[in-house]
């Protein structure tokens, strides 16, 4: 809690010092409104993006880059919101820039000070861990510990149970004889032993439990359920009863909350910034062809809930047979000249930011397909239905990897679903940011967009 208080103090002092330095005049309380919104947005967004968790690794990103980016985004959103609400408000660039320059180092300093205090309170030394296991499950477990920014654990050695030595364990001490492994654990006073083994290796589990029966070491069983679980197979608590998720939502409620906050803020700023473009496209469509500006089509959202997706109309008005959706093909005669440009540049997708604001879509996620295609592919493409465990996205991992456009074969749809399932299994806020950046760099225009 003290760190949050210090953040608020830094934000307020930064605004006041900046106003005094540039002699900004507080007319009609507009600057106070910007400050109030900045405090509110910071209070919501900072915890959502993990800025109050202790960072043990990746300090540059967790303590410097992430706080700076979040604060600049909060400040920009606050200014834009006040500008949208009050026509008489004219932002003072000097005050805003000076505020950012003064407060950003202060917020970064709060992160570093908070981390130092937390580590002093909890003890600097991370808990030393040794792992018994082999193969991809073991390597994935090591990677998770290594890349977790706030992990209290440090893997120091492994007992390789595979038939051959694993060359992909990096610089970790690796053992294949139990006596040497036990001597290492006792000599370096290892805190925890993790048994990363399949459920079938009960005998090995019992042997290592017996080996350390007289040692004060915590022994944890982390079963390899990759052949059974669709996603990570994480452990959950069901009113005091432990369970392993074999098929379930791949994103936690905290992760979904982060996505929703980012979605709403990003979509609001996008609609605000692109409003002249949206108006120009609407006029071009209306002036060059008959029919409505927007095209609506029923799609499935999170948990299979049906909604109407918005697009700029890119085809001439035509009727489809019931239960049949004919995808656009290259040189499709139904596509108008303006529509061809919109589809080639993906500008026809811009109205979907309104779907995001309505809570029906995300900025990043699996692209939704026509309901008629869902009924066809969910029975012939493995894992297809699990794309709808989260909200569909305007862009996604499949699209930035070139899996877009017409799905005229089962193989193309299977490839797209594989990308979507990878995204669900490996979601992180950093991955969402990467997809957004890749969309701007190479995802807007593509040879398969027609």
Summarize the confidence of residues 221-235 as an average pLDDT: 71
Where in 329-398 does DSSP place strands (E)? 362-364, 393-395
Rounded Cα distance between 220 and 238, Å, is 19
What's the confidence (pLDDT) of residue 316? 76
Percent over 70 (pLDDT), the chain: 81
pLDDT digits (tens, 9 = 90+) for 136-160: 888 888 887 776 655 678 888 999 8
Looking at the predicted structure, is the pLDDT value of residue 121 above 80? Answer: no
Rounded Cα distance between 292 and 428, Å, is 38
Please check whether residue 337 is in contact with residue 316, taking contact to mean a CB–CB distance below 8 angstroms. Answer: no
Residue, of 278 and 6, whose pLDDT is higher = 278
What's the confidence (pLDDT) of residue 88? 76
Number of residues in the chain: 450
Rounded Cα distance between 444 and 401, Å, is 12
Cα separations (Å) of 393 from 12, 388, 436? 36, 10, 11
What's the confidence (pLDDT) of residue 153? 81
DSSP assignment, residue 347?
G
Listed range (163-167, 170-174, 250-254, 410-414) with the worst mean pLDDT: 163-167
Residue 3 — pLDDT band, cuts 50, 70, 90?
A: confident
Please check whether residue 310 is in contact with residue 351, taking contact to mean a CB–CB distance below 8 angstroms. Answer: yes
55-56-59 Cα angle (round to 5): 65
Of these ranges, 55-59, 65-69, 87-91, the one predicted with the greatest mean pLDDT is 65-69
CA 289 from chain centre, in angstroms, equals: 39
Summarize the confidence of residues 278-287 as an average pLDDT: 90
What's the confidence (pLDDT) of residue 218? 92
Looking at the predicted structure, is the pLDDT value of residue 54 above 70? Answer: no
Question: Which residues, listed in sequence order, are joined to residue 220 by a DSSP beta bridge?
Answer: 194
What's the confidence (pLDDT) of residue 163? 76
What's the confidence (pLDDT) of residue 450? 44
Scan for tokens 């200014």, then name that residue.
Answer: 79
Domains of the chain, with CATH numbers?
2-122 (no CATH), 127-224 (3.40.50.720), 253-443 (no CATH)
Looking at the predicted structure, is the pLDDT value of residue 445 above 60? Answer: no
On the CB side of 1, CA atoms within 13 Å amount to 0
Scan for tokens 């990103």, then name that residue.
Answer: 61
Scan for tokens 């959706």, then name that residue.
Answer: 325
What's the confidence (pLDDT) of residue 443? 55
Looking at the predicted structure, is the pLDDT value of residue 11 above 60? Answer: yes
Task: State the pTM of this model.
Answer: 0.59
What's the confidence (pLDDT) of residue 240? 66
Listed range (190-199, 243-252, 357-366) with the worst mean pLDDT: 243-252
> Regarding beta strands 153-160 and 173-175, do their DSSP bridges make them parallel or antiparallel, or are they unpaired?
parallel
Percent over 90 (pLDDT), the chain: 19
DSSP code string of 35-97: HHHHHHHHHHHHHHTTTTSPP-S-HIIIIIIHHHHHHHHHHHHHHHHHHHH-TT----HHHHH
Tally Cβ neighbours within 10 Å of residue 259: 22
What's the confidence (pLDDT) of residue 165? 64
Of these ranges, 84-98, 187-201, 373-387, the one predicted with the greatest mean pLDDT is 187-201
Scan for tokens 């969402």, then name that residue.
Answer: 432
Rounded Cα distance between 199 and 194, Å, is 14
Summarize the confidence of residues 7-19 as an average pLDDT: 87
What's the confidence (pLDDT) of residue 192? 92
Looking at the predicted structure, is the pLDDT value of residue 120 above 80? Answer: no
Summarize the confidence of residues 66-79 as an average pLDDT: 87
pLDDT digits (tens, 9 = 90+) for 315-350: 876 555 554 455 555 556 678 888 888 888 888 899
């Amino acid at each position: 809690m003290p760190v949050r208080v210090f953040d608020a103090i830094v934000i307020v002092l930064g605004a006041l010092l900046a106003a005094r330095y540039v002699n900004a005049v507080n007319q009609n309380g507009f600057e106070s409104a910007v400050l109030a919104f900045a405090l509110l947005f910071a209070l919501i967004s900072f915890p959502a993006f993990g800025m109050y968790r202790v960072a043990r690794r990746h300090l540059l990103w967790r303590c410097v880059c992430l706080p700076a980016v979040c604060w600049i985004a909060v400040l920009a959103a606050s200014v834009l919101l006040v500008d949208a609400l009050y026509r008489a408000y004219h932002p003072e660039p000097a005050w805003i820039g000076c505020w950012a320059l003064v407060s950003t180092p202060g917020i970064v300093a709060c992160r570093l000070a908070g981390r130092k205090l937390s580590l002093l309170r909890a003890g600097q030394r991370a808990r030393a861990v040794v792992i018994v296991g082999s193969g991809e499950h073991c390597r994935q477990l090591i990677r998770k510990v290594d890349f977790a920014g706030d992990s209290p654990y440090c893997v120091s050695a492994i007992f390789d149970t595979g038939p051959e030595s694993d060359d992909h364990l990096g610089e970790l001490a690796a053992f294949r004889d139990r006596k040497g492994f036990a001597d290492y654990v006792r000599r370096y006073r290892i805190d925890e032993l993790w048994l990363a083994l399949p459920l079938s290796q009960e005998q090995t589990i019992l042997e290592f439990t017996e080996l350390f029966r007289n040692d004060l070491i915590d022994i944890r069983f982390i079963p390899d359920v990759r052949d059974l679980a669709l996603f990570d197979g994480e452990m959950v608590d069901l009113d005091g009863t432990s369970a392993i998720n074999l098929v379930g939502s791949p994103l936690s409620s905290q992760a979904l909350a982060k996505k929703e906050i980012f979605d709403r803020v990003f979509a609001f700023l996008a609609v605000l910034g692109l409003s002249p473009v949206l108006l120009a496209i609407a006029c071009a469509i209306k002036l060059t062809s008959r029919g409505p500006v927007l095209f609506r089509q029923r799609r499935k959202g999170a948990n299979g809930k049906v909604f109407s997706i918005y697009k700029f109309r890119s085809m001439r008005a035509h009727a489809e047979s019931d239960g049949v959706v004919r995808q656009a093909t290259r040189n499709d005669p139904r596509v108008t000249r303006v529509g061809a440009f919109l589809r080639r540049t993906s500008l026809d997708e811009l109205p979907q930011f309104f779907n995001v604001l309505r809570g029906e879509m995300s900025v990043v996620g699996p692209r939704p397909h026509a309901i008629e295609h869902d009924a066809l592919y969910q029975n012939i493409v493995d894992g297809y239905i699990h794309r709808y465990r989260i909200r569909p996205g305007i862009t996604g991992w499949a699209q930035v990897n070139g899996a877009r456009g017409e799905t005229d074969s089962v193989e193309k749809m299977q490839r797209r679903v594989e990308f979507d399932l990878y995204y669900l299994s490996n979601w992180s806020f950093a991955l969402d940011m990467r997809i957004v950046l890749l969309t701007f760099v190479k995802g807007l225009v593509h040879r398969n967009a027609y």
